[in-house]
Amino acid sequence: MSQGPLMPKATAVWLIENTSLSFDQIADFCKLHPLEVKGIADGEVASGIKGLDPVSTGQLTREEIERAQKNPNHRMKVAVSKVKLPEVKRSKGPRYTPLSRRQDRPNAILWLLRNHPELKDAQIMRLVGTTKSTIQQIRERTHWNSAALQPMDPVTLGLCTQIDLDFEVQRAAKDRPAVVEPVDGGQTLMPPELSVLPEHEEDDRDARRGGRDERLDADSVFARLKPLHRGEEDDEDDL
């Protein structure tokens, strides 16, 4: 289906007034119903609309009109413009948020600050279409409605898509500095083979401990016997 003129009813008014084209030809060119074109010709439709010359606007040529007037079966087509207009690029800015959803943005900002503190202010602005000052007010609890705010997922609220949220979270994770582990690795447990002594070393240690215990026991016994021995010597001197 070919594209119609920019102002179909105004173009139809001009074609009815300035050409001998049939209603079907005009309706096909303007993408209107033939009965609607008949109503325009009778003054019942589009009353007060000023006709628009499609030739002066470059949408139709004189040759095409003459060819259609000579042949009722000929269907006119919109002329291709030779002048190519540059595409208008949309400037970057905050995401547009519908009026019905704008009251939910503070709740979404609070949710992002609590659940994804690694996100930067610029990323939050892209996700929910807010301003840096609003984010700062909610972070510092100076927002006018801070007492009534409740954290709500922006995806559930329809402020952004899950894909956009995941992308920003992954991007923030990449920008986060890596955690540096200590070189020595910290204190760790000794392996079993080092913590358990061989059997012969354990026997030697028990033997040394046993000998020391025996020596300590003998010393204590002799220390107790010395007073008794001294007492016997005293008794012999008395005799």
Residue 37: Cβ-neighbour burial (10 angstroms; 0-12, 13-18, 19+) = buried
Q: Name the residue with tokens 């300035």.
A: 18
Residue 1 confidence (pLDDT):
46
Tens of pLDDT, residues 46-81: 777 888 899 888 888 999 999 999 998 999 988 876
Contact 223, 217 (CB under 8 A): no
Tens of pLDDT, residues 98-145: 555 668 889 999 999 999 999 999 999 999 888 999 999 999 999 888
Residue 221 confidence (pLDDT):
56
Mean pLDDT score across all residues of the chain:
76
Q: Give me the count of residues in the chain.
A: 239
What's the average model confidence in pLDDT over 187-195?
A: 55
| Alpha carbon separation from 203 to 19, 56, 110, 190, 216 (Å, rounded) | 122, 114, 68, 22, 20
Residue 46 confidence (pLDDT):
72
What does DSSP assign to residue 184? Answer: S
What is the CB neighbour count within 10 angstroms for residue 140?
9
Global model pTM greater than 0.75: no
Q: Name the residue with tokens 């060819």.
A: 67
Buried b (16+ CB within 10 A) or exposed e, 65-104: beebeeeeeeebebeeeeeeeeeeeeeeeeeebeeeeeeb
Higher pLDDT, residue 155 or 232? 155
Examine the pLDDT at 193 and tell me if it is beyond 60.
Answer: no
* Pairwise CA distance, residues 79 & 97, whole Å: 38
* Pairwise CA distance, residues 54 & 35, whole Å: 21
Question: Poorest-confidence range of 40-54, 161-175, 186-200?
Answer: 186-200
Examine the pLDDT at 203 and tell me if it is beyond 50.
Answer: yes
Residue 173 confidence (pLDDT):
83
Contact 43, 25 (CB under 8 A): no
DSSP characters for 148-179? G-----HHHHTSS-HHHHHHHHHHHHHHSPPP
Examine the pLDDT at 198 and tell me if it is beyond 70.
Answer: no
Q: Name the residue with tokens 């413009």.
A: 81
